[in-house]
């Protein structure tokens, strides 16, 4: 059904039209146009040879961030146990080439510039006889393009289709990836669609997973003809360097540039050669199918959706394993004669598809009575495998696998409400525990009792709750990664945000406590950079991405019920360590640096305290923050202290702060005389305006 | 309404003769001069009925008031003052209609004698039948809704209520419109006749810009009866292009709807939807499809009707395109003849059990199935189309199952509410207000109440989530038992949510509860009640006045100027609610947040005086 929808939209047709314009413009060209509020950017299928991994020193799969340009920020960070995200080095090289080419003088982002091309384009005689001239003129006018105009264009087109034929499609995929990474920091709505026509593999399985994780899968679609070998190839040295391949690709290139004349006489490819190429593609797909999941960064792997087109219709698959299987199966029905022209048939098929959607699809024989079986056989019919007994059964299995079993994402999201309410009592108990700590006579706050807990029954119960909650949220995030939740569920479900924020504020301090308690910081390093669980980072992201209509300017009247910076305690632990180092004088060269860091931390902590962004437990008399503050001020105590009467620094005496007092002197007293903040009585103190 | 003996009209609730008469009047209405936009006719019988038939003006400004630039499909939100029911209650989305036809209706209401005609018929308790052919159809729909709203407002019974008959009317109402009409149980009062080869009912599925020329120039010329024989004078190639364009768009929206019906999980669907313009219009009411062989097929499921609108006109082969395009115009003009012949036949088929529709086209097992199979063949339905119809049926069934599922949870809600009620009385015996006791969270009971609160929140959030995703039957939000339970839940539990909110000072992170922090489960249930009892919007705030009290208290402690308006408002409302028994006396116990605030008021303050006796008693 989705295939029918896609083919009845004008999108495919327009994309192909722009693509063929780009193809006609020759090597390395690209075109940008605006059609009815949608911007189209197309890359020519004809690319310079180096794209095919010409350089033998290069491995085929290169890490995405190897370029070091920082172009894909969301895709550079790997979590524990993940392999780096790999892409085809040649294509990456091509992409970087494009990227730098358009980055000429200004730092204007490439895609919007290309949208700007639309304007420039229309002022020039379109497709003048000498295309090269046009390109150079475009380029020079680009340099002059005023950024204001570009911004107005940015406002004009909210959605961009990036497309490309053959290898151009691979470049388009990378461009779309880059654009998505770039847009992520600007506006959340994902309005980038990338359509490839018969594009070869480009990324590894780890990349495919990362794309799913970022929930970008819906932005990528590769249109694949049943017998086309190009999208089934891993462009490796063993293939690319062969003369057979080069003959074929040259032929393809010339045919692309002048799409009207397809002169097979120019193709010097023997029957054996064709057979070898076909068997190469079959072998490659067989290898992928057998490797299955878990290849990580070593093998190419499909991502996004694949739209399989046959003479009879289309089907759309998004499960990578079944995409691989289907590609393999379909290719097995191909013959060596079709490998040459099939790759050049896209225009014809796209044209056919758009007409086909209006027509009834002819089916031989009666469909089975059950809806499920009937839809399966209809899908088989659409890819033209219904008659081919040899693969029909396997193709059917493959389709069955592709169908998601289990509840729909929406149902999962609705069920989440119930699951949340079951898990909430655990959180409430922790909240209760925190209140008890705040009230207890020991005044050690919330963090320290948990960190230094003995064999207390209460703390171990809280620890259990902590683990249960972590399991729940990990599971939610796991469901998200597997696309089992709706795309924008964390934006549309207010209670998820609420609950997750409460969870994070309450439980992360305990996680930090556990981390330092078990000495993990000695093994793995600081919590913030090395030990923080991915769930907290994602929850952080949800919280900052939530729809905030206005910023509240008012100040807090009381200390917050939980410290707003959940990593606060990790920073305290760091500060404690630095202070220790200074006192032990273990590293005399570093002293100035450490002092600098400690000053920074102090400024940060005091800002939180003043803004009442911390919870009251932080300031409890015997909390580790209070003791750190005391030690730190003691260290800073100068000669000044001797002039001060001793009662001033005695702990038992409290200072009543008059109502006119400002923060400056208090800070001075705290910092240089080592008087704990808890010794000030703010009863009459009115906040300075 | 009186029922005739067996024929197509019986199930629809209208006699055959009435339908025929209405049809011929509707077609004649197009002849009428511009200053008389409708014809009135009486049909004798017991009771006699009044038919009011509209003609639509197909002038340029009528179909695209803003030249089609603002909205691709010329849609606009209805005015909720005139049509308060036309929205989804909880989600609070207003229904959309075609702006031009709505404006036309409003003008007719304003300038002509329509109103007095309606009043007259109502006075004589004669049922009115609104009718319209082609562009008159939408106006008949709006007139019917208008009168139904009037009945509802006056709380009259609907025995003599209006009916609406349209013939070849274009789609001008959106999904929410249909949802609202079904929720109010009005949908059986709308009967739309569609010749399957007629292009006009589908025409607004394509963007206005592409169909404007045809709608403005060719169609008015065609439907004015003097020009009937000139149907073939229209340029064939233009007509074919129009037909192709409309069908392509129809295919696009229909397959999009089918993807959703079949529960497609591919993320490509979401992304793609942002790149294409999809018509918002959906069918509303019952449809009677007239096939080429003169068979009548009645379909009630709106999703199925929508699929049928596309699939019944799907081409069998590509070469057929021009032929069908040319045939589509005479079909639009053939309603009178077609109905004259076919309404006598007693073979109207009701497509009801959609989930078990036979897929194959030559299954001759038994007679009952055979008629259905024949009907489907007459409707020109491929196996794929039948699958889509099945999916429409499944989706309806799924919604009903969902409702059954949550109805099983009613007991759980009840129990939890009872527990909280117990907690409330216990607080009272402790001498503390329910709200304040919870806010302090001192005893274990408070903790337990908090757990119960979250348990209930889970169940209700799930329901709200289903509503948001349109996974419950249309009539759910109007079901009395749920409105009642929702109100009870809101009155009992929302104070706890407010207390929790202010206890954790969430107002300092996110803002005041009422504007920033109020969960949907309370907003929705409040709207349910307001709709069910026809109360003004926002009048049922008896469950969340605590939030206002908290804000007022905060203003006092931070020495901000008092918000006099808000203070008076709260006091007046409290008095009202207390009189109705919606706010219990524990709110006025000593030491509650309310009383604390009250004490800060000067003695002569209006608000202080207003609830003085409540607090002192």
ipTM computed for the complex? 0.81
3 state DSSP class of B45? coil
pLDDT value at position B306?
Answer: 94
Looking at residue A551, what is its pLDDT? 52
φ and ψ at residue A221, rounded to 5 degrees: -140, 125
Average pLDDT over residues B410-414: 92
Contacts of A161 in chain B (CB under 8 A): 275
Instruction: Read off the DSSP letter of residue B588.
Output: G
Chain B positions touching A2 (Cβ under 8 A) are: 255, 259, 264, 266, 268-269
What pLDDT was estimated at residue B175?
92
Among B315, B316, B447, the residue with its CB nearest the CB of A428 is: B447
Contact B78, B138 (CB under 8 A): no
Give the pLDDT band of residue B4 (cuts 50, 70, 90): very low
Higher per-residue confidence, B267 vs B552: B552
> What mean pLDDT do residues A159-185 have?
80
Contact criterion met (CB < 8 Å) for B259 and A2: yes
B513-535 burial code (b ≥16 CB/10 A, e <16): bbebbbbbbbbbbbbbbbbbeee
| Residue B2, pLDDT score | 33
For the cut 90, the answer to whether the pLDDT of residue B522 exceeds it is: yes
Q: Is the pLDDT of residue B55 over 60?
A: yes
pLDDT exceeds 70 at position A255: yes
Would the pLDDT of A81 be above 60?
A: no
Residues of B in contact with A208 (CB under 8 A): none
Can you tell me the distance from the alpha carbon of B81 to that of A66, in angstroms, rounded to the nearest whole number? 62
Task: Check CB contact under 8 Å for B276 and A358.
Answer: no
Tell me the pLDDT of chain A averaged across its residues.
Answer: 73
Which has more confidence, B331 or A53?
A: B331
**Confidence at residue B400, expressed as pLDDT on a 0 to 100 scale:** 93
Query: Looking at the predicted structure, is the pLDDT value of residue B118 above 90?
Result: no
Interface of A with B in 469-508 (CB under 8 A): 483, 487, 492-495
Q: Which residues of B touch A189 (CB under 8 A)?
A: 274
Per the CB < 8 Å rule, is B275 touching A556?
no
**pLDDT for residue A197 is more than 50:** yes
What is the model's pLDDT at position B308? 92
Out of A343, A377, A382, A562, which one is annotated catalytic? A343
Q: Give percent above pLDDT 90 in chain B.
A: 24
What is the pLDDT at residue A688? 46
pLDDT of residue A104: 33
Confidence of residue B7 (pLDDT cuts 50, 70, 90): very low
Three-class SS of residue A38? strand
Output the pLDDT for position B514.
86
Could you tell me which chain B residue has the CA closest to the CA of A430?
Answer: B447
Q: What is the per-residue pLDDT for B95?
A: 93
B447–A409 CB contact, under 8 Å? no
Which position among A228, A318, A448, A511 bears the catalytic label?
A: A228
Is a pLDDT exceeding 80 seen at residue A167?
yes
Alpha helices in A271-408 (DSSP H): 271-291, 320-332, 338-342, 346-356, 371-382, 389-402
pLDDT band at A121 (very low <50, low <70, confident <90, very high): very low
Residues of A in contact with B509 (CB under 8 A): 552, 560, 564
Query: pLDDT grade, residue A137 (50/70/90)?
Result: very low
Of the partner residues B274, B314, B511, the one whose CB lies closest to the CB of residue A359:
B314
- Per the model's pLDDT, the better-predicted residue between A642 and A411 turns out to be A411
A424 touches chain B (CB under 8 A): yes
Give the model's pLDDT for residue A187. 52
Q: Report the pLDDT value the prediction gives residue A554, as an integer from 0 to 100.
A: 56
Rounded distance, CA A92 to CA A109, Å? 17
pLDDT of B177:
95
- Mean pLDDT score, B578-597: 81
Q: How far is CA A461 from the centre of its chain?
A: 36
Name the residue with higher pLDDT: B587 or B445: B445
Query: Residue A32 in 3-state DSSP?
Result: strand
Q: Is the pLDDT of residue A163 over 60?
A: yes
Of A407 and A639, the structure prediction assigns the larger pLDDT to: A407
- Average pLDDT of chain B, as a whole number: 83
**A606-630 average pLDDT score:** 82
Contact of B462 with A418, CB cutoff 8 Å: yes
Q: Does B364 touch chain A (CB under 8 A)?
A: no
b/e burial code for range B231-270 (CB count within 10 A of at least 16 → b): beebeeeebbebbbbbbbbbbbbbbbbbbbbbbbbbbbbb
For A482-538, the pLDDT digits (tens) are 777 776 676 666 677 778 888 888 888 888 888 888 888 888 888 887 778 888 888
CA B89 to chain A, closest CA, distance in angstroms equals 18
Q: Is the pLDDT of residue B1 over 60?
A: no
pLDDT in tens, A402-419: 765 556 777 777 778 788
Instruction: Report percent pLDDT > 90 for chain A.
Output: 1
Question: A385-399, A448-462, B545-559: which range is least confident on average?
Answer: A385-399
Residue B386 has pLDDT above 60, yes or no: yes
Residue environment code for A46-76, b if the CB has 16+ CB neighbours within 10 A, otherwise e: bbeeebbbeeeebebbbbbbebeeebbebbb
How many beta-carbon pairs below 8 A join chains A and B? Answer: 202
């Amino acid at each position: 059904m989705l295939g029918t929808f896609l083919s009845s939209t004008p999108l495919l047709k327009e994309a192909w039209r722009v693509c063929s314009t780009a193809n006609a413009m020759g090597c390395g060209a690209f075109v940008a146009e605006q059609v009815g509020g949608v911007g189209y950017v197309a890359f020519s299928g004809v690319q310079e040879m180096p794209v095919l991994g010409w350089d033998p020193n290069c491995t085929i799969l290169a890490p995405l961030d190897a370029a070091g340009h920082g172009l894909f920020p969301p895709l550079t960070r790997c979590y524990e146990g993940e392999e780096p995200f790999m892409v085809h080095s040649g294509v990456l090289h091509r992409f970087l080439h494009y990227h730098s080419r358009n980055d000429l003088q200004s730092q204007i982002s490439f895609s919007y510039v290309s949208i700007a091309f639309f304007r420039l384009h229309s002022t020039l005689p379109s497709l003048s006889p000498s295309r090269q001239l046009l390109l150079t003129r475009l380029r020079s006018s680009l340099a002059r393009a005023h950024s204001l105009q570009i911004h107005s264009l940015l406002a004009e087109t909210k959605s961009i289709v990036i497309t490309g034929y053959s290898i151009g499609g691979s470049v388009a995929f990378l461009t779309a990836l880059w654009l998505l990474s770039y847009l992520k920091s600007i506006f959340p709505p994902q309005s980038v669609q990338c359509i490839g026509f018969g594009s070869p593999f480009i990324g590894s399985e780890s990349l495919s997973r990362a794309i799913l994780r970022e929930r970008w899968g819906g932005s990528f679609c590769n249109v694949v003809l049943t017998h086309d070998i190009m999208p089934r190839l891993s462009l490796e040295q063993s293939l690319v360097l062969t003369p057979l391949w080069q003959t074929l690709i040259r032929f393809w290139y010339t045919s692309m540039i002048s799409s009207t004349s397809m002169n097979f006489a120019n193709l010097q490819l023997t029957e054996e050669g064709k057979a070898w190429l076909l068997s190469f593609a079959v072998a490659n797909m067989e290898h992928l199918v057998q490797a299955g999941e878990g290849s990580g960064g070593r093998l190419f792997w499909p991502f996004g959706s694949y739209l399989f087109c046959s003479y009879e219709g289309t089907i759309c698959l998004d499960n990578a394993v079944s995409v691989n299987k289907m590609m393999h199966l379909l290719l097995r029905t191909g013959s060596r004669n079709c490998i040459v022209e099939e790759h050049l048939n896209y225009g014809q098929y796209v044209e056919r598809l758009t007409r086909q959607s209006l027509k009834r699809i002819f089916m031989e024989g009666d469909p089975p009575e059950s809806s499920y079986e009937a839809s399966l056989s209809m899908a088989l019919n659409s890819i033209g495998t219904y008659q081919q007994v040899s693969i029909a059964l396997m193709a059917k299995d493959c389709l069955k696998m592709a169908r998601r079993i289990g509840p729909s994402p929406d149902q999962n999201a609705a069920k989440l409400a119930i699951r949340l309410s079951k898990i909430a009592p655990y959180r409430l108990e922790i909240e209760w525990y925190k209140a008890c700590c705040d009230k207890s006579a020991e005044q050690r706050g919330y963090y320290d009792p948990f960190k230094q807990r003995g064999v207390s029954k209460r703390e171990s119960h809280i620890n259990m709750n902590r683990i249960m909650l972590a399991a729940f949220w990990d599971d939610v995030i796991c469901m998200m990664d597997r696309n089992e939740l709706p795309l924008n569920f964390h934006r549309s479900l207010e209670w998820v945000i609420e609950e997750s924020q409460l969870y994070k504020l309450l439980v992360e301090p305990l996680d930090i406590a556990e981390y330092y308690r078990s000495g993990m910081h000695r093994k793995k390093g600081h919590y913030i950079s090395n030990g923080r669980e991915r769930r907290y980072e994602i929850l952080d992201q949800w919280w900052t991405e939530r729809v905030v209509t206005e910023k509240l300017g008012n100040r807090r009247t009381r200390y917050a019920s939980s410290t707003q910076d959940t990593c606060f305690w990790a920073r305290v632990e760091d500060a404690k360590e630095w202070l220790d180092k200074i006192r032990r004088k273990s590293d005399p060269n570093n002293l100035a640096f450490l002092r600098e860091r400690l000053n920074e931390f102090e400024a940060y902590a005091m800002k939180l305290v003043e803004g009442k962004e911390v919870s009251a437990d932080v300031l409890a008399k015997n909390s580790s923050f209070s003791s750190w503050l005391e030690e730190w001020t003691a260290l800073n105590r100068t000669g000044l202290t001797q002039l001060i009467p001793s009662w001033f620094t005695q702990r038992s005496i409290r200072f009543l702060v008059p109502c006119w007092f400002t923060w400056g002197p208090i800070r001075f007293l705290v910092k240089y005389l080592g008087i704990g903040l808890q010794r000030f009585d703010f009863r009459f103190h009115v906040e300075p305006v | 309404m009186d029922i005739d003996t067996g024929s197509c009209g019986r199930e629809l609730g209208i006699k055959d003769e009435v339908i025929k008469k209405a049809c011929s009047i509707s077609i004649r209405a197009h002849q009428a001069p511009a200053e008389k936009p409708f014809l009135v006719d009486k049909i004798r019988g017991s009771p006699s009925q009044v038919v009011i038939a509209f003609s639509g003006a197909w002038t340029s400004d009528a179909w695209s008031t803003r030249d089609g630039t603002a909205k691709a499909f010329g849609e606009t939100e209805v005015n909720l003052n005139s049509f308060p029911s036309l929205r989804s209650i909880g989600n609070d989305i207003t229904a959309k209609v075609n702006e031009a036809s709505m404006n036309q209706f409003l003008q007719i209401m304003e300038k002509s004698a329509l109103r007095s005609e309606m009043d007259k018929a109502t006075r004589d308790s004669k049922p009115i039948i609104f009718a319209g052919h082609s562009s008159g159809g939408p106006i008949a729909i709006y007139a019917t809704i208008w009168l139904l709203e009037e009945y509802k407002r006056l709380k009259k019974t609907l025995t003599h209520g209006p009916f609406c008959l349209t013939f070849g009317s274009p789609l001008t109402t959106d999904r929410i419109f249909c949802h609202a009409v079904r929720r109010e149980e009005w949908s059986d009062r709308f009967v739309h006749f569609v010749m399957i080869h007629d292009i006009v009912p589908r025409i607004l599925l394509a963007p206005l810009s592409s169909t404007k020329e045809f709608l403005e120039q060719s169609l008015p010329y065609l439907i004015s009866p003097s020009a009937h024989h000139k149907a073939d004078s229209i340029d064939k190639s233009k007509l074919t292009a129009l037909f192709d364009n409309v069908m392509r768009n129809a295919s696009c929206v229909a397959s999009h709807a089918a993807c959703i019906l079949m529960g497609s999980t591919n993320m490509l669907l979401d992304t793609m939807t942002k790149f294409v313009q999809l018509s918002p219009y959906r069918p509303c009411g019952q449809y009677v499809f007239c096939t080429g062989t003169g068979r009548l097929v009645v379909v009630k499921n709106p999703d199925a009707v929508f699929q049928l609108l596309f699939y019944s006109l799907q081409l069998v082969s590509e070469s057929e395109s021009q032929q069908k395009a040319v045939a589509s115009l005479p079909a639009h003009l053939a309603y009178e003849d077609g109905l004259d012949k076919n309404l006598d036949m007693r073979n109207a088929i009701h497509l009801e059990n959609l989930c078990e529709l036979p897929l194959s086209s030559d299954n001759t097992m038994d007679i009952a199935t055979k008629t259905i199979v024949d009907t489907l063949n007459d409707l020109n339905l491929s196996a794929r189309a039948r699958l889509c119809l099945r999916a429409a049926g499944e989706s309806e069934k799924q919604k009903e199952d969902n409702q059954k599922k949550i109805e099983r949870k009613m007991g759980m809600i009840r129990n939890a509410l009872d527990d909280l009620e117990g907690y409330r009385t216990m607080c009272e015996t402790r001498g503390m207000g329910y709200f304040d006791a919870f806010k302090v969270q001192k005893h274990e009971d408070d903790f337990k109440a908090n757990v119960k609160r979250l348990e209930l929140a889970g169940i209700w959030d799930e329901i709200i989530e289903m509503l948001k995703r349109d996974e419950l039957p249309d009539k759910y939000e109007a079901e009395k038992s749920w409105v009642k339970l929702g109100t009870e839940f809101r009155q009992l539990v929302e104070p706890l949510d407010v207390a929790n909110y202010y206890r954790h000072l969430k107002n300092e992170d996110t803002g005041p509860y009422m504007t920033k922090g109020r969960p949907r489960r309370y907003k929705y249930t409040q709207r349910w009640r307001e709709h069910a009892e026809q109360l003004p919007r926002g009048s049922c705030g008896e469950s969340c006045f605590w939030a206002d009290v908290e804000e007022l208290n905060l203003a006092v402690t931070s020495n901000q100027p008092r918000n006099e308006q808000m203070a008076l408002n709260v006091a007046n409302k409290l008095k009202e609610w207390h009189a109705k028994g919606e706010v219990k006396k524990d709110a006025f116990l000593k030491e509650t947040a309310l009383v604390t605030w009250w004490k800060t008021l000067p003695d002569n303050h209006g608000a202080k005086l207003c609830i003085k006796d409540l607090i002192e008693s």
